[in-house]
Structure 1
Amino acid sequence: MSRQTLLKQFTPIDGIAAIVALIALGGVLWSPKLSHSLARATGVMRPVKVSVDVRNVPTAEPNALIEAALAQGSTSIVIRNQPAGSLKLKGIEDLRSKLVAVQPDGSVVIAMDPNLAANSVLDARFILEGDGTVSKTGVVLAGTKLKIGTPVELEGSSYRINGTVSGVSVQ
């Protein structure tokens, strides 16, 4: 067939169909799941350990909240109002303040502050693990840079609390 015959058979609808096919192919190639899988396969994604400090959260039973969170095993994280997925909850450390008293013989006695039981507040450090991208400027989790001091929100089935990132380490 000659070129003129091929051009006569090619209609504007064929051109629109070709453009739609190219856009669909581009969407598949740039999809978040595929890019996440490619990043994991190429070694760009690495295990990241994140510590989030939660201070002065009023709750009726802080210990029950900690036990419920640990039983769930994971928590959703929101970084700068952007959902960043779910991370494994490896542990929760108690950060309640302690009273320190030096005795006359020089020994030091440490006791829990009795005022905290009356106030019923949660002071804890959530230890989280997940996969992140390591760049020159730091760790990127779900497209958002994660650095010490970054405000985050942790959400589980029975809680939604605000905290601050206190540690980020690449494993």
Structure 2
Amino acid sequence: MKLLDSKGRIFGTISILDLGAALVIAMVVVGIFFFPGTSGSVAQNQLAPTTKPVEIRTIVRGLSVLDPDSLIARLREKGKTNIVIRNQPYGTVDVKSVEPLPRILAIPQPDGSVKALPDPRDNFYSVNLMITLGGNATITDDGPVLGNSKLKIGTLIELEDDTYNFNSSTIDVKILD
């Protein structure tokens, strides 16, 4: 009896193609059950994220408010505010400082130059503020993350409390040691 016949069967019973397919399936089964590799996902194998304090400076331009002094006093007295970053509520952060910024107008001069002068108008019901916030952020390769939102210059932060809700723009982010 010949080892291979004219139809490619071993000893006239088993096809070479069937035998090859069975060997591939057997190797896959052995590979899955006997050599599973590393366990866990990539996220589980990474080091624990580090958390550090951050200082966030935000600017508010043209906030319409009847009594700006009482709003500034409230922010300073309470010392905390709730923030929302990219429509994701984060929680409470510390209000480190609140500085009112002067209202400045660009006034053209007779010689064609432009000077920045204080706005002479009173009772304008609008205020510009620079607010410094502080909190703890997870530090990643892309920078600090509050909650699930990356915090970078230009990020809009919504400040809210029981008497106010307004947007501010991030102008500086410092990671403190």
Instruction: Pick one of 144, 161, 170 that aligns with 1:165.
Output: 170
Q: How does 1:77-88 map to 2 (within 5 A)?
A: 77-88=83-94
Greater share of helix residues, 1 or 2?
A: 1
Q: Is the 8 A contact 2:54 2:137 kept in 1?
A: yes
Q: In the alignment, residue 143 of structure 1 is paired with which amino acid? A: N
Cα separation, 2, equivalents of 1:167 and 1:156 = 23
CA shift, 1:97, in A, is 2.4
Q: Which residue of 2 aligns with 1:144?
A: 149
Q: Which residue of 2 aligns with 1:129?
A: 134
CA shift, 1:75, in A, is 0.5
Identity of aligned residues (%): 34
| Structure 1 spans left out of the alignment, 5+ residues | 1-38, 102-109
| Structure 1 residue runs of 4 or more that deviate by more than 4 Å after TM superposition | none
Q: Is the 8 A contact 1:69 1:156 kept in 2?
A: no
After superposition, the C-alpha distances for 1:57-76 in whole angstroms (9 at most, x for unaligned) are 11101111110111111000
Cα separation, 1, equivalents of 2:86 and 2:141 = 20
The answer on 1:61 being equivalent to 2:47 is no
CA shift, 1:118, in A, is 2.4
Q: Which residue of 1 aligns with 2:53?
A: 47
CA shift, 1:100, in A, is 9.0
| Structure 2 spans left out of the alignment, 5+ residues | 1-46, 108-115
Q: Which secondary structure does the structure 2 equivalent of 1:118 belong to?
A: coil
Q: Is the 8 A contact 1:76 1:85 kept in 2?
A: yes
Q: In the alignment, residue 158 of structure 1 is paired with which amino acid? A: T
Q: How does 1:98-113 map to 2 (within 5 A)?
A: 98=104, 112-113=118-119
Tell me the TM-score normalised to structure 1 length.
0.65
After superposition, the C-alpha distances for 1:26-45 in whole angstroms (9 at most, x for unaligned) are xxxxxxxxxxxxx9xx6711
RMSD in angstroms over aligned alpha carbons? Answer: 2.3
Paired positions, count = 123
Q: Is the 8 A contact 1:48 1:129 kept in 2?
A: yes
Cα separation, 1, equivalents of 2:49 and 2:84 = 25
Cα separation, 1, equivalents of 2:153 and 2:49 = 24
- 1:98–1:60 distance in 2 versus 1, CA, 3 Å: same
Q: Which residue of 2 aligns with 1:119?
A: 124
